[in-house]
Amino acid sequence: MSGEHGLQMWWHQSTIYQIYPRSFADSNADGIGDLPGITSKLEYLKALGVDLLWLSPIFASPMDDNGYDISDYRNIAPEYGSLADFDFLVSEARHRGMGVILDLVVNHTSDEHPWFQQARSSRKNPLHDFYIWREPAIGGGPPNGLTSSFGGSAWTFDPSCGQYYLHLFSRRQPDLNWENPLLRSEIYQMMNWWLDRGISGFRMDVIDYIGKSVDQSIITDGPHLHDYLQEMNHMTFGDRDVVTVGETWSATPGSALLYSGRERHELSMVFQFEHVTQQWDEIYGKWRSRPFDLGKLKSVLSKWQLALADDGWNSLFWGNHDLPRAVSKYGDAKGFPLESAKMLATVLHLLKGTPFIYQGEEIGMTNVPFTKIEQYRDIETLNMHRLHLEAGMSPEEFLKGANENGRDNARTPMQWSDGANAGFTTGIPWIEVNENYTIINAEHAISDEHSIWSHYRKLIRLRKEHRVIVYGRYQSHLESHPDLFTYTRSLDGSLMLVFANFSARQITIELPNELQVTGKCLISNYSDRGELGGSLSMSPYEAFAILAD
C-alpha cells in the first residue's frame, strides 16, 4: 500500500473516529443513541478534525450482542432510525468533508435473519447450506470440542433438522458458511448496495474467521481466507476509492502483509491486537490483568512499525467498543488524568499508520466503576461472570477484572455536558452514565485550549501538515528504559523526535548524541521544548515532539 516509496493514499493522513451509536447521542429521549443524534454532533466532529466516522453496527437486529447479530443487512435498526436518517447522515457528513464507514459483520448473522429461519426449517432448504451444520457426535452431543468466544460450546442442537449449528459467539449468532458461493454472492451484492449509497468503506468484524475449517478445528487463518478476501475485493470495493479495515485478532506482522500488502489486493489495513493481548492473564484472559509492562508494549509497537515499514499499513489505536478506556488502561486516570491522556495520544498519533479515536477518548473518558454485576449489559461479561464463578473465581475478583477490561467500559454514554445524563439523553439511558461526567465532558473540553480535546485536535492537524508524520521511517531509541518511550521519524532530511514518560515520577536521563538536537516543538503536554542537550528531565507523563532544525 505504501512505504517511503510506495503508493500514497488519501487516508494515510486521515484520522478515523469510531462511534458506538447506542451510546453516542440520543435524539428522541428513548435512552438509546441514534442516527439523528450522530448527525446533530457532526459540527463537533468537524471541529475536532477527523475525516472518517466508523459506525458500529446500525443494521436491524434483536440486539442480543448490541447489533453484532444482524437480522436484515439492508435495513436500519428502528431504535437507531431509518434509511432516510442514514442517507441524511452520510450527505451531511460529506458536506462537512467527512465520510462514513460501516461495520461489516459477515462471519455470522442473527438467528432471526430470514436466511437462518429458512436454513433451520429443513435440511433440503436451499439456504440450509448458508450456515455450518454437523451431525451429533457418535453417542450424541456436539460434533467436536470447539468453544464459543462468549463461553461454552460453539455448537447448539436444532431439533427441527436434527443437527448442530456452529456459533463462535452467542448461540443467537450462527456462523455463515463461506464455502457456499451463493452465500458469498449475496454478501457481495449487499456490500455494493451500501457502497452505492455513498459510504466510504467498511470495518470488517472478525474477518479472519470467515475461512474457518471447523472439522480441523481451524477458526482463524483458514485455508481459503485470502481467496475469499481477494474475491470480495474484486467483486465489491476493489475499484472504488474507499477504506477497508479488517479486525484480525490472529494477525501477525507476517500475515498482515497477506491482507494489506500491495501485491495482495485485499484490504487497506488490519487491526492487530498483540499490544492488547500481551497484557492478559494466561489462564483467565482479560478478566485478570497482568501488571502494565512498558517494555513489552514498546517491543510490540516497534515490531509492527518495522514490519510494515515499506509495505502494508498500520492501524493505530488504544481503544474501541470491546476494550477498556485508554487512560484507564495505559495511563493514570486517578493521579494524572490530563497529562497521561495527552501523552498516550502523542505517542500513538505520531507513529506511522492511520490513527483511530474511540468516542470519548478525546475528552479523557475513563472506565466505569460498577459495583454490581447487575449494572452490566454486555452479553460477554454476563456469560463469563457465570462461567468464572462456577470455576471458582470470587465475585469480587471477577468484578475487578470486568471494571478493568470489560466491554461496557467503552459503552457508557458519551459525556457531552455536566447536565442530566451527561447530555446524552433526556430519557433513562440504556446503561448508566459514568459518575465523573460533571468533570469530564465535551462542553468543558471544547472551551479549554489546554484540554485533552484541544491536544487531539492539534495532533490531527499536525498529521495533515507534516509528511514526516505520515510517511517518515520509524526508529526506536532508549529501548531498555523502563518508563520512557522514545522514537524518531525521518523522511527526506526531516527528523522528528518523540519522547514520552509513561510513569508518575520525574525522570532524568543522559541523552546519546543522536538525540541531542535543536528545533521546533510540534506539541507538548507541558511547556514547549526547543532544545535537547546532554541531560533530559521529564515530568510525570510528559510527552513532546520536536522537529529538528
Q: Which residues are catalytic?
A: 205, 247
Residues present in the chain in total = 549
Report the DSSP beta bridge partners of residue 226. none
Please check whether residue 42 is in contact with residue 51, taking contact to mean a CB–CB distance below 8 angstroms. Answer: no
In angstroms, the CA 256 to CA 269 distance is: 8
Dihedral class, residue 63 (left if φ above 0, else alpha if ψ from -120 to 50, else beta): left
E strands, 285-435, where? Answer: 285-289, 315-316, 354-358
Give me 425's grid cell: 439523553
Separation of first and last alpha carbons in the chain: 30
- How far from 261 is each of 241, 270, 297, 491, CA to CA, in Å? 17, 11, 24, 21
In angstroms, the CA 306 to CA 325 distance is: 27
Residue located via cell numbers 492488547:
276
Give me 313's grid cell: 499499513
∠ Cα 384 385 388 (to 5°): 75
∠ Cα 74 75 77 (to 5°): 145
What does the radius of gyration of the chain's CA atoms come to, in whole angstroms?
A: 23
Q: Mapped to the 3 state alphabet, what secondary structure does 86-114 carry? A: HHHHHHHHHHCCCEEEEEECCCECCCCCH
In angstroms, the CA 323 to CA 18 distance is: 13
∠ Cα 379 380 383 (to 5°): 80
In angstroms, the CA 535 to CA 137 distance is: 68
In angstroms, the CA 456 to CA 396 distance is: 36
In angstroms, the CA 382 to CA 402 distance is: 10
β-pairing, 201-204 vs 507-510, is unpaired
Please check whether residue 216 is in contact with residue 227, taking contact to mean a CB–CB distance below 8 angstroms. Answer: no
In angstroms, the CA 415 to CA 539 distance is: 29
Closest CA to 524 of 472, 446, 459, 466: 459
Question: Residue 119: enclosing H or E segment and its boundaries?
Answer: helix 114-119
- How far from 142 is each of 27, 113, 122, 189, 212, CA to CA, in Å? 45, 23, 19, 34, 18
Q: Which 8-state DSSP code applies to residue 332?
A: -
In angstroms, the CA 514 to CA 490 distance is: 13
What is the phi/psi pair of residue 510, to 5°?
-95, 130
